[in-house]
Homo-oligomer: A and B are copies of this chain.
Amino acid sequence: MKVLSLFFFLATIIATCQGAPPHHNPGSDCLSWRLSVETNNMREWPVVPQACVSYVGHYMLGYQYHKDVQAVADLAYHFAKTVPLPKDLRTNLWILDIADTVLSNLPYYAQPDIAFGGTPYNSTKFAIWEQKGISPAVPGILDLYKKLQSLGFKIVFISGRSESLRAVTIKNLKNLGFTTWENLILKQASDAGTSSQIYKEKKRNELLANGFYRIVGNVGDQWSDLVGEHVGYRTFKVPNPMYYIS
């Protein structure tokens, strides 16, 4: 440990005092790109950069994505177990987004012509995929869902999916083991034309308007799920380097 520390110490002196330029590594730009996405530093990005398609593919299909989502689930559960909640009559809610938070679109995005988000969003093709209702679960989230319920939280799904997909969404959820919820909020015709962030904020405000609910936690793969008014005591960002929704 001491030798290692000394090495680090000396290396720092050299690296910081002489302003040594970093060595070049071609893959590292994609690491920076993904960090920019996950920290919400980069917004409104239309497609995965061509140079990072293979990187994103390996990430999404490899162990790291699984581990990263599991870490989100573990942190959310730890918070849910330990958060002090007011003793009143309000129901404690946990908000879950659906697409790539609960139901995975990875089999769609891994198709050759979709290239993990490396090609522009194709609403026609995506609608056909959604209609199939065959999404697998995002790893670790079904377990979190069950644990949250066992702690007494009620689940509210707030999804950007259209109301017309209610039956297929319910079937997909139930097939995977997501069997009960307090509410499943889907986009109505009257919500058309609003950004996801504004739409989800409006739905949270509607939930809270009757005074019966408290939003405690909120899990989503997009920052637009997790910012704005009444996002909950804590938010949890599920990784998604394949697409951006504002």
CA distance A5 to B173 in the complex (A): 28
Which residues from B are CB-within-8-Å of A106? 12, 16
User: Are A107 and B31 in touch, CB under 8 angstroms?
Assistant: no
| A16-B64 contact in complex given A32-B71, A39-B39, A70-B32, C-beta closer than 8 Å | no
Identity of the chain B residue whose Cβ is nearest the Cβ of A239 in the assembled complex: B35
In the complex, A165 has a CB within 8 A of chain B: no
Task: Name A37-74 residues within 8 Å CB distance of B.
Answer: 38-43, 54, 57, 61-64, 66-68, 70-72
Judge whether A2 is part of the interface by a CB distance below 8 angstroms. Answer: yes
Q: Is the CB of B31 within 8 A of A63?
A: no
The 8 closest A-B pairs by CB, nearest first: A22-B63, A5-B112, A12-B110, A32-B71, A22-B66, A39-B237, A16-B136, A8-B57
> Quick one: copies of this chain in the complex?
2
Contact A63–B24 (Cβ < 8 Å): yes
A16: chain B residues at CB < 8 Å are 104, 106-107, 136
Contact with B along A17-42 (1 / 0, CB 8 A): 10101111100110111011011111
Q: How distant is the Cα of A67 from the Cα of B4 in the complex, in angstroms?
A: 24
Residue pair B115, A15 in contact (C-beta under 8 Å): no
Contact residues in B for A35 (Cβ distance below 8 Å): 35, 38, 68, 71, 239
What are 8 A-to-B residue pairs whose CB atoms are below 8 Å?
A: A2-B112, A12-B107, A16-B106, A22-B62, A22-B64, A33-B71, A36-B72, A41-B75
**Size bracket of the A interface:** 35 or more
Is B71's CB under 8 angstroms from A8's CB?
Answer: no
User: Within the assembled complex, what's the spacing in Å between the Cα atoms of A82 and B19?
Assistant: 30
**A151 beta carbon closer than 8 Å to chain B:** no
Chain B min CB distance to A201 (Å): 16
Interface contact A64-B28, CB-CB below 8 Å: yes
Q: CA A2 – CA B19 in complex, angstroms?
A: 43
* CB of A85, distance to nearest CB on chain B (Å): 17
